[in-house]
Amino acid sequence: DGCIKAVGQADVIRNQFSEATFERIIDCSGKCVLPGLVDAHTHPVWAGDRVHEFAMKLAGASYMEIHQAGGGIHFTVEHTRKATEEELFSTFKHRLERMLRAGSTLVECKSGYGLNLETELKMLRVIERAKRSMDIGISSTYCGAHSVPKGKTATEAAEDIISNHLPKLKELNLSGEIHVNNIDVFCEKGVFDLESTRRILQAGKDIGLQINFHGDELHPMKSAELGAELGARAISHLEEVSDEGITAMARAKCAAVLLPTTAYMLRLKQPQARKMLEEGVIVALGSDFNPNAYCFSMPMVMHLACVNMKMSMNEALAAATINAAYALGKSDTHGSLEIGKQGDLVIINSSRWEHLIYQFGGHETLINYVIVKGKVVYQNETC
């Protein structure tokens, strides 16, 4: 059934399964077996890359300056609206395969480059199709409130989402066409204010979606306090979170999904990982893969978390496995090697697991096997 049957000392296992026959035995002498990595925050469905904006950023343009000049999210929205479902699926599939080869066996995937009902549904159908046809695990997120569409105010956009988008999602969910797990809003100055964010998240929660949203990234917005109050499962970014917000998240057992790639690429101040950990917040990690932060690799994310956010390697591994699974409401089935949990494993070609973090960008020759539900889905011939 794809679940782990036993964990323990080799001689005990040999004894326990002495009568059993196996399709395949992998000799892991001198290697390490780790839980499959979990990427708790990605935006992987879109058309039109933004490589030209990277040069603008390097020349000193801020995220919001690019956004206001018609770049950023709006540039991607324009291209994603024009792309066919087939085109979007083809690039999305390729990206997921790269994530899988870098050790991710469960990935959170957001919509959010449509900003109108038609394109948001197109993106969610693409995510649903990958869920059903690919080996990698997917938690899907409706992020229609990723930006305010041109020609609308935040209040009007929130109204459209609550009155039109969410009822349609509920209908498609009931008919079994699309199954969405989470609702996300970009709560930010100049995007969705606290009140609009509250209304959208509450409406999503009312139709059974887990709250998992962007907060306190560029400006202190009291997003963490709002998330704790609404019973959010997770909040992402949190570069500008307040001390009160951290305390509220710890109390509410609301996970903090930290994104070291974003802080690194946008040269933002780093999220306060140490303070969060000391206060008892459940800290998870995500790659934030999107046209603005083009990184598929959770091993690289863990390395950045250790160097830039001062996390220990143990904390980073927990944040990229069991805690990231918790942020997606899946820690009962994913994120650790325990009997009864899904058999998602990464086998690395080293006797010390720390090499996965230590070798910055070295995962391509280090990851020997990726296994999902007990099935080898990637075997690296170069190991």
In this model, does residue 382 exceed pLDDT 90?
no
How many Å apart are CA 289 and CA 220, to the nearest integer? 23
Q: What is the 3-state secondary structure (H, E, C) of 289-326?
A: EECCECCCCHHHHHHHHHHHCCCCHHHHHHHCCHHHHH
**Are 118 and 159 in contact, with CB atoms under 8 Å apart?**
no
C-alpha to C-alpha distance for 322 and 310, rounded to whole angstroms: 19
Q: Which residues, including other chains, have CB under 8 Å from residue 114's CB and lie 6 or more apart?
A: 77, 80, 81, 120, 121, 122, 123, 144
- Pull the structure tokens for residue 269: 């101040």
* Backbone phi, psi, residue 23, to 5°: -65, -35
Q: Residue 373 — very low, low, confident or very high, per pLDDT cuts 50/70/90?
A: very high
Tell me the per-residue pLDDT of 172-223, one tens digit each, with 9 for 90 and over. Answer: 999 999 999 999 999 999 999 999 999 999 999 999 999 999 999 999 999 9
Q: What is the model's pLDDT at position 52?
A: 87
pLDDT bin (cut points 50, 70, 90) of residue 45 is very high
Q: Assess whether pLDDT exceeds 90 at residue 224.
A: yes
Would you list the domain boundaries of the chain?
3-32+341-379, 36-47+83-328
**Residue 237 per-residue DSSP state:** E
Give which of 192, 200, 199 is closest to 219, Cα–Cα.
192
- 3 state SS of 358: helix
Q: Output the six-digit token pair for 86.
A: 């087939």
What percent of the chain lies above the pLDDT cut of 90? Answer: 91
Examine the pLDDT at 107 and tell me if it is beyond 90: yes
Does pLDDT of 383 surpass 90? no
Predicted confidence band of residue 65 (pLDDT cuts 50, 70, 90)? confident
Tell me which of 364 and 82 has the higher pLDDT.
82
For 379, what's the count of Cα atoms within 13 Å in the CB-facing half-sphere?
4
- On whether the CB atoms of residues 210 and 182 are closer than 8 A, the answer is yes
DSSP assignment of 45-100 equals --SS--HHHHHHHHTT--HHHHHHTT-THHHHHHHHHHS-HHHHHHHHHHHHHHHH
Model-level pTM?
0.97
Q: Which of the four pLDDT bands, split at 50, 70 and 90, describes residue 63?
A: confident
Cα-only R_g, the chain = 20
What tokens appear for 21 in the block?
A: 């026959």
pLDDT at 69 over 90: no
Q: Indicate if the pLDDT at residue 71 is higher than 90.
A: no
Q: Given a cut of 90, is residue 40 above it in pLDDT?
A: yes
Q: How far is CA 145 from the centre of its chain?
A: 17
Confidence of residue 302 (pLDDT cuts 50, 70, 90): very high
The arrangement of secondary structure in 36-47+83-328, i.e. its CATH architecture, is Alpha-Beta Barrel (3.20)
Distance of CA 37 to the CA centre of its chain: 11
The pairing of beta strand 367-372 with beta strand 375-379: antiparallel
Q: Mind listing the pLDDT tens digit for each residue in 255-300?
A: 999 999 999 988 889 999 999 999 999 999 999 999 999 999 999 9
- Yes or no: say if 373 and 345 are a contact pair by the CB < 8 Å rule: no
Residue 72 clears pLDDT 90, i.e. is over it: no
SS3 144: strand
In the predicted model, is pLDDT for residue 348 greater than 90?
yes
